[in-house]
């Protein structure tokens, strides 16, 4: 007798059929992506946007500021605002690839769900909470994830059914330990949303000089409260966050637009080339020229 698949086995089976090799694949379901890797990866610098990420096979680590977060099958990671991170796949093999599902959180659907459910807001944790949390996936959440993936085999059902299942997934998270974290994405009158507005400003204006007092006033907070809550949520100070944004963009400019280090650094707000080179080397482990050369060599070798 053939035993039925576990939810993880079924999701992995579907994910394998809709990914032809290593990489990230956007699916026919809006906001849903599947990532696959057959080997552990080197540390990768990038940004996480508000989303739910569920590891199906293998394991992954995420570095947020001074925090190191590890998660694998049985866990989901919830990101409640835009955060620069360093991530790495730590367990993967050709026989058992790493699979991860990522579902973007739609704030409008979340607000609609809150009004429909007439739910009490979970209390904010004492001392605040990080913008990334990891929790165990409940059987109900896994069941909804399986049903969402099954829609990929029935594309005619996606338009009608995917929004309903996505709403169920959001509901399962709202009624779990990460409920308060999820509400921070949508509710305007809390500290988490004020920090999210500050982050949105930083992303649009990262090359401009940063005055903490002005940004704090813009989001309706005192400078001291803003600094405290920003660091609590992001594990970084506002200046450190801005620095990450600048260096990530400078790296992109050198790789994609082929700017030299001096012009890239100046474009993102650095007045001193030596300071730019020093901070770039501290983050990426190599000078700007050697780092971009190493990345191009590795791409050419693939």
Binned at pLDDT 50, 70 and 90, residue 121 comes out as low
My answer on whether 145 and 164 are in the same domain is yes
Q: What is the pLDDT of residue 127?
A: 46
Q: What is the pLDDT of residue 41?
A: 92
| Whether residue 5 has pLDDT greater than 70 | no
My answer on whether 158 and 297 are in the same domain is no
Q: How many domains does the chain have?
A: 3
My answer on whether 96 and 158 are in the same domain is yes
My answer on whether 216 and 258 are in the same domain is no
Q: What is the pLDDT of residue 284?
A: 92
Q: What are the pLDDT digits (tens) for 256-290? A: 999 999 999 999 999 999 999 999 999 999 999 99
Q: What is the pLDDT of residue 112?
A: 81
Q: What are the pLDDT digits (tens) for 157-203? A: 999 999 999 999 999 998 888 887 777 666 655 677 788 889 999 99
| Whether residue 152 has pLDDT greater than 80 | yes
Given 236, 251, 269, which residue is the final one in a domain?
236
| 1 occurs within a structural domain | no
CA-nearest of 122, 101, 230, 127 to 173 is 122
Q: What is the pLDDT of residue 296?
A: 85
| 24 occurs within a structural domain | yes
- What's the rounded mean pLDDT across residues 79-99? 93
| Whether residue 37 has pLDDT greater than 90 | yes
My answer on whether 16 and 142 are in the same domain is yes
My answer on whether 204 and 257 are in the same domain is no
My answer on whether 69 and 144 are in the same domain is yes
- What's the rounded mean pLDDT across residues 147-153? 96
| Whether residue 227 has pLDDT greater than 80 | yes
My answer on whether 228 and 122 are in the same domain is no
Q: What is the pLDDT of residue 190?
A: 66
My answer on whether 65 and 29 are in the same domain is yes
**What percent of the chain stands above pLDDT 90?**
70
| 218 occurs within a structural domain | yes
| 2 occurs within a structural domain | no
Q: Name the residue range of residue 59's domain.
A: 7-186
| 266 occurs within a structural domain | yes
| 224 occurs within a structural domain | yes
| 148 occurs within a structural domain | yes
My answer on whether 133 and 229 are in the same domain is no
Which CATH number do you get for residue 178? 2.60.120.10
| Whether residue 2 has pLDDT greater than 60 | no
CA-nearest of 170, 217, 177, 173 to 194 is 217
Given 186, 201, 222, which residue is the final one in a domain?
186
Buried b / exposed e along 153-163 (16+ C-beta atoms within 10 A): eeeeebeebbe
Among the residue ranges 126-130, 168-172, 206-210, 246-250, the one predicted with the least confidence is: 126-130
My answer on whether 198 and 286 are in the same domain is no
My answer on whether 59 and 159 are in the same domain is yes
Across the chain, mean pLDDT equals 89
Task: Decide: residue 299, CB within 10 A, 0-12 exposed, 13-18 middle, 19+ buried.
Answer: exposed
| 244 occurs within a structural domain | yes
| Whether residue 126 has pLDDT greater than 60 | no
pTM here is 0.84
Q: What is the pLDDT of residue 6?
A: 84
| Whether residue 123 has pLDDT greater than 60 | no
Q: What is the pLDDT of residue 301?
A: 60
Give the Å distances, CA to CA, from 226 to 72, 81, 192, 270: 33, 16, 10, 25
| Whether residue 239 has pLDDT greater than 60 | yes
Pairing of strands 32-37, 51-57: unpaired
> What distance in Å separates the CA atoms of residue 283 and residue 287, rounded to the nearest whole number?
10
């Amino acid at each position: 007798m053939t035993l039925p698949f576990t939810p993880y086995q079924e999701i992995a089976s579907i994910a394998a059929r809709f990914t032809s090799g290593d990489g990230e694949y956007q699916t026919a379901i809006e906001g849903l992506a599947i990532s696959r890797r057959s080997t552990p990866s080197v540390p990768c610098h990038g940004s996480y946007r508000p989303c739910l990420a569920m590891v199906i096979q293998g394991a992954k680590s995420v570095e947020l500021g001074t925090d190191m977060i590890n998660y694998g099958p049985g866990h989901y990671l919830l990101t409640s605002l835009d955060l620069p991170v360093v991530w790495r796949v730590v367990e993967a093999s050709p026989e058992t690839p790493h699979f991860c599902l990522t579902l973007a959180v739609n704030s409008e659907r979340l607000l609609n769900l809150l009004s429909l459910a007439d739910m009490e807001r979970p209390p904010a944790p004492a001392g605040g909470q990080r913008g990334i949390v990891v929790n165990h996936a409940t059987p109900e959440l896994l069941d909804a994830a399986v049903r969402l993936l099954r829609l990929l085999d029935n594309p005619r059902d996606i338009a009608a059914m995917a929004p309903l299942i996505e709403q169920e997934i959001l509901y399962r998270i709202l009624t779990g330990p990460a409920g308060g974290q999820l509400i921070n994405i949508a509710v305007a009158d809390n500290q988490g949303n004020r920090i999210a507005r500050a982050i949105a400003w930083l992303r649009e204006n990262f090359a401009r000089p940063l005055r903490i007092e002005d940004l704090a006033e813009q989001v309706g907070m005192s400078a001291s409260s803003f600094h405290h809550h920003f660091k609590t949520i992001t594990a970084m100070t506002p200046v450190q966050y801005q620095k990450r944004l600048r260096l990530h963009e400078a790296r992109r400019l050198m790789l994609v637009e082929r700017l030299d280090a001096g012009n890239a650094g100046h474009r993102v707000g650095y007045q001193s080339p030596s300071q730019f080179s020093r901070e770039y080397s501290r983050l990426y482990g190599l000078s700007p020229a050697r780092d971009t050369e190493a990345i191009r060599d590795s791409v050419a070798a693939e």
